[in-house]
């Protein structure tokens, strides 16, 4: 593995993009094979530090949204930096505990928590539940009472604010399944005395993901802050306000302009001025997206009847965001930049027309075997992967200042079908 000479920014060491975190990417691809997800530990650490600095002086805790990338090595980076986690399933609870994130730094969100998941989270001792419905509140009360413990809970507010993002990742409009109205939450606090085993003393809001404007964030924070002031005036103690995640990142250079972390911190300070309880943040994408790239090789170029296709060995199985949200990802062929430009529809091998990474993308001409780097894939890439078309899960690699470690080996075909079996042991129920 070639370690390049020292650079000012270790995370993005080579100006020509041929290396990341001091590791030469074509050498890495030869060693590990493609497709493979690659993450820079240095870049993730830089991201973790930025909000910690920006929030200095506040009683703020960052709970990494594990769904963005739940590889154990990534979760361990978060644990090492003292972060907690925002989880949405029993599986994420297990993964976070397994990676060493202490239970008392874990918050549990999600509209479909089951009794079993709630029981496991209570047994583990999670910090709090972000409760999303009256039914869930009653279930939390019942499961906590059965165990004779007190569950700490926050009401997830749906502030009916448009996050100005893709409809499929917008969560704070009244038509969305997430959270409850302020009116309903008010009832919960007013009738809270019936909750013998739930301590309802927090508020939570998360209006969507990949937000590139502060306006909706400010609007949501304003609603939560007004509600907190109203509750405080009525004698309720609010020990925790969770402002969610959702900060957008740059997927398209020169086009996407993310909110600065300092402006975001200022918006929180401004909205929650006078609040002396704990503030929780749940960033996912912002911490890991730009720290990751997907390395893939060109299988072939196909001249179709109308369009020219660049067929990669990566597919929607490794990165579903373009298929799901028409998301843009910058792509860089790691080839001689003096090659003439060509325009391609960039596709994977999966048998879906939706298995398309980009249409009409202009880039240096590619040939079979060339390496292509798809950027901004550290979040919602591997964590949304599937084995559709019987494609084994890709390898994942963590880089750290010139070194690399395989943090998920490429799945073997046997591992892919482990648990499946022919139907020979028929049983009656
Ligand atoms: C409750 C909650 N918190 C945090 C996040 C993380 O969002 P993002 O990755 O955009 O920061 C999500 C994502 O959907 C979420 O549902």
pLDDT digits (tens, 9 = 90+) for 188-226: 999 877 899 999 999 999 999 999 999 999 999 999 999
| CA 406 distance to own-chain centroid | 20
In the chain, the N- to C-terminal Cα span, in Å, equals: 57
Coil, strand or helix: which one is 285? helix
CA separation for the pair 174, 156 (Å, rounded): 12
pLDDT (0 to 100) of residue 125: 98
Which of 15-29, 84-98, 367-381 comes out lowest in average pLDDT? 15-29
**344 with 310: CB under 8 angstroms?**
yes
Considering the entire predicted model, what is its pTM? 0.95
Contacts of 278 (CB under 8 A, 6+ apart): 59, 60, 61, 239, 240, 241
With the most atoms of ligand 1 within 8 angstroms of its CB, the residue from 136, 168, 284 to mutate is: 284
CA separation for the pair 94, 81 (Å, rounded): 19
Count of other CB atoms within 10 angstroms of residue 250: 16
Contacts of 51 (CB under 8 A, 6+ apart): 62, 261, 264, 265, 281, 283
Domains, the chain, with CATH or none: 10-40+289-417 (2.40.37.10), 109-283 (3.20.20.10)
| CA 88 distance to own-chain centroid | 11
391: tokens are 């494609």
Q: What is the mean pLDDT of the chain?
A: 94
* Ligand 1 centre distance from Cα of residue 222 (Å): 19
Contacts of 191 (CB under 8 A, 6+ apart): none
375 Cβ closer than 6 Å to some ligand 1 atom: no
pLDDT (0 to 100) of residue 230: 98
pLDDT (0 to 100) of residue 12: 43
**227 with 203: CB under 8 angstroms?**
yes
68 Cβ closer than 6 Å to some ligand 1 atom: yes
pLDDT for 8 beyond 50: no
Q: Which atom of ligand 1 is nearest to the CA of 289?
A: 9
Mean pLDDT of 92-109: 98
Burial class (CB within 10 angstroms; exposed 0-12, middle 13-18, buried 19+) of 157: buried
Which of 66-80, 157-171, 195-209 comes out lowest in average pLDDT? 157-171
Task: Find the farthest-apart pair of alpha carbons in the chain and give their distance in angstroms, rounded.
Answer: 72
**241 with 273: CB under 8 angstroms?**
no
**334 with 318: CB under 8 angstroms?**
no
Mean pLDDT of 71-86: 98
pLDDT digits (tens, 9 = 90+) for 302-361: 999 999 999 999 999 999 999 999 999 999 999 998 999 999 999 999 999 999 999 999
Q: What angle do CA 324, 328, 329 make, to 5 degrees?
A: 110
pLDDT (0 to 100) of residue 371: 98
Q: Which atom of ligand 1 is nearest to the CA of 246?
A: 10
**What percentage of the chain exceeds 90 in pLDDT?**
90
The residue written with tokens 């085993």 in the block is 197
The residue written with tokens 């924070």 in the block is 221
204 Cβ closer than 6 Å to some ligand 1 atom: no
With the most atoms of ligand 1 within 8 angstroms of its CB, the residue from 163, 216, 245 to mutate is: 245
In the structure, what pLDDT confidence band is assigned to residue 16 with cuts at 50, 70 and 90? low
CA separation for the pair 347, 324 (Å, rounded): 14
Residue 95 known to be catalytic: no
């Amino acid at each position: 593995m070639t370690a390049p000479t020292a650079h000012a920014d270790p995370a993005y060491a080579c100006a020509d993009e041929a290396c990341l975190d001091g590791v030469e990417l074509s050498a890495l691809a030869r060693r590990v094979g493609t497709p493979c997800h690659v993450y820079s530990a240095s870049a993730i650490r830089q991201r973790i530090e930025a909000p910690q600095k920006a929030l200095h002086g506040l009683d703020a805790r960052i709970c990494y949204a594990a769904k963005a990338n739940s590889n154990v090595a990534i979760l361990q980076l978060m644990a090492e930096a003292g972060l907690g986690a925002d989880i949405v399933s029993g599986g994420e609870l297990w993964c976070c505990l397994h990676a060493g994130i202490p239970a008392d730094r874990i918050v549990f969100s999600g509209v479909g928590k089951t009794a079993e998941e709630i029981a496991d989270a209570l047994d583990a001792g999670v910090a709090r539940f972000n409760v999303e419905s009256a039914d869930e509140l009653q279930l939390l009360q019942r499961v906590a009472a059965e165990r004779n413990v007190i569950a700490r809970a926050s009401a997830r507010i749906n502030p009916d604010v448009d996050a100005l993002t893709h409809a499929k990742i917008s969560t704070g409009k009244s038509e969305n399944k997430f959270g409850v109205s302020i009116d309903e939450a008010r009832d919960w606090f007013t009738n809270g005395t019936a909750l013998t085993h739930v301590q309802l003393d927090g508020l939570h809001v998360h209006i969507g993901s990949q937000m590139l404007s502060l306006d909706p964030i400010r609007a949501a924070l304003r609603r939560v802050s007004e509600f907190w002031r109203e509750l405080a005036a009525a004698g309720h103690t609010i020990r925790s306000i969770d402002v969610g995640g959702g900060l957008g990142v740059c997927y398209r250079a020169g086009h996407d302009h993310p909110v600065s972390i300092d402006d975001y911190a200022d918006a929180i300070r401004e909205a929650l001025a006078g609040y002396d309880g704990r503030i929780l943040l749940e960033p996912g994408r912002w911490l890991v997206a730009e720290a990751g790239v997907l390395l893939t090789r060109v299988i072939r170029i196909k001249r179709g009847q109308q369009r020219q296709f660049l067929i990669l060995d990566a597919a929607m199985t490794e990165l579903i965001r373009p298929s799901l949200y028409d998301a843009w990802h910058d792509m860089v062929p790691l080839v001689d930049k003096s090659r003439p430009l060509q325009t391609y529809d960039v596709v994977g091998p999966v048998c879906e027309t939706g298995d398309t990474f980009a249409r009409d993308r202009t880039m240096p001409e590619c040939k079979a075997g060339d390496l292509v780097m798809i950027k901004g894939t550290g979040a919602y890439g591997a964590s949304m992967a599937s084995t559709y078309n019987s494609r084994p899960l890709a390898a994942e690699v963590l880089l750290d200042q010139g070194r690399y470690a395989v943090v998920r080996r490429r799945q073997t075909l046997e591992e892919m079908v482990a648990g499946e079996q022919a139907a020979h042991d028929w049983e009656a129920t």
